[in-house]
Amino acid sequence: MPRVSRAQAAQNRERTVEAAAELFRERGVDHVSVQDIMAAVGLTHGGFYRQFESKEALLPEAARHAYDRMAARLSNLDAQAVDHTAAQRQYIQRYLSAAHRDHPGQGCPIAGLIQDITRTDSTETRDLLTERVSDLGKWLNQDGRDGLVTACTLIGALLVARAAGSPLSDQVLERVTAALTAAE
């Protein structure tokens, strides 16, 4: 079976990055094996090292992939909402939804990858996160509120909601949403 077309190989590579981005956010880099990733794409572990230097080298690629999707979502919100303030409000509400809490694999990559990025040696990966946090902070800026602070609150609340049991987990989502969407 081996030897697929160039186009097919490129698509497989892309799907590998995508699968890694999802699995890394879901379980953390350490709890995902190369086999897990390749199996998610429907391949075996063998082809991995022809496409990637190592498992670690996959982290910045996976992160970038997920960040780009996130950026696209922000643009989308701006395009659909009546104004930027409405888009911000929408974002906050979705960010602190039970759905987002319960599906980290599809969720915010900053929150999902933050622990692994804290411990990585790759400055590329760290710089990438730094830039995206900064971007998010700017996007969340409001008149009386520092967007960077809002970003930290969102990330903290999501992580706490994911770790805590009921009923606190739900309360965190509710109360932080209330605080961030209140008029000042």
Partner DNA sequence: CAGTTTAGATGATGTAACTCATCTATAAAT
Partner DNA sequence: ATTTATAGATGAGTTACATCATCTAAACTG
Minimum Å gap between C-beta 104 and a copy of itself is 9
Position 35 contacts DNA (CB under 7 A): yes
Please, which of residues 99-138 interact with a copy of itself by CB under 8 A? 110, 114-115, 117-119, 123, 126-127, 129-130, 133-134
Closest Cα to residue 66, out of 21, 105, 123? 21
| Alpha helical stretches, state H, 42-146 | 48-51, 58-80, 84-95, 98-102, 109-119, 123-139
Closest Cα to residue 18, out of 33, 3, 40? 40
Cis peptide leading into residue 104 (ω within 30°): no
Minimum Å gap between C-beta 52 and a copy of itself is 21
Position 44 contacts DNA (CB under 7 A): yes
Position 56 contacts DNA (CB under 7 A): yes
| Nearer CB in complex with DNA: 119/183 | 119
| Nearer CB in complex with DNA: 48/95 | 48
DSSP secondary structure code for residue 55 in this structure: S
Binding segment (CB under 8 A) for a copy of itself, from list 10-18, 67-75, 80-88, 150-158: 150-158
Encoded tokens for 57: 């080298």
